[in-house]
Amino acid sequence: MDELVEWLRAQLEIDEEIARAAAHYEAGNWTTKGGHPVSVADELVEQADTFERVVVFDEGSPSEEQAHHIAEHDPARVLREIDAKRRIIGRINSHAAVMGRDEVHGDVLRSLALPYADRPGYEESWRP
């Protein structure tokens, strides 16, 4: 399991780097306007018409449903999810240090790794 934990932490680091690069810090909240995902700085939400930046646009795309999906999975949310996953891993490791690792710990770790199954280094033996 230690190899899985190490690999999973590396995936979270990659996700964090990607999310932080996408956030550009000045544009943390994403929403939709006119069917397109836009990013709006937290302190400028009331002035969104002036300061919004289109995140994704291609004529006829994304669809309204895709735009909502993109906006819902903005960098701020991704960073919160990374934090939550790190906390779960930390709790598992703390508990395992005292009580030993059990089947539930392994199942939770394998489940956390599943979204990354398409990345290099994922081992099929980790599949829940």
87, 113: one domain: yes
Q: How many domains does the chain have?
A: 2
pLDDT in tens, the chain (128 residues): 899 999 999 999 999 998 888 776 445 566 766 666 666 544 344 444 444 555 555 566 666 777 777 777 888 889 999 999 999 999 999 999 999 889 999 999 999 999 999 999 999 999 99
* Residues 80 and 99 grouped into a single domain: yes
50: containing domain: 29-64
Q: Are residues 43 and 79 in the same domain?
A: no
Nearest Cα residue to 35 out of 62, 70, 55, 69: 62
pLDDT at 81: 96
In three-state secondary structure terms, 61 is strand
Look at residue 114 and tell me if it is in a domain: yes
Indicate if 118 and 83 belong to the same structural domain: yes
Name residue 104's amino acid. Answer: V
Is the peptide bond between 128 and the residue preceding it cis, with omega within 30 degrees of 0? no
Residue 127 covered by a domain? yes
| Strand residues in the chain grouped as ranges (E) | 29-33, 36-40, 53-54
> Is 59 in the same domain as 94?
no
User: pTM higher than 0.85, yes or no?
Assistant: no
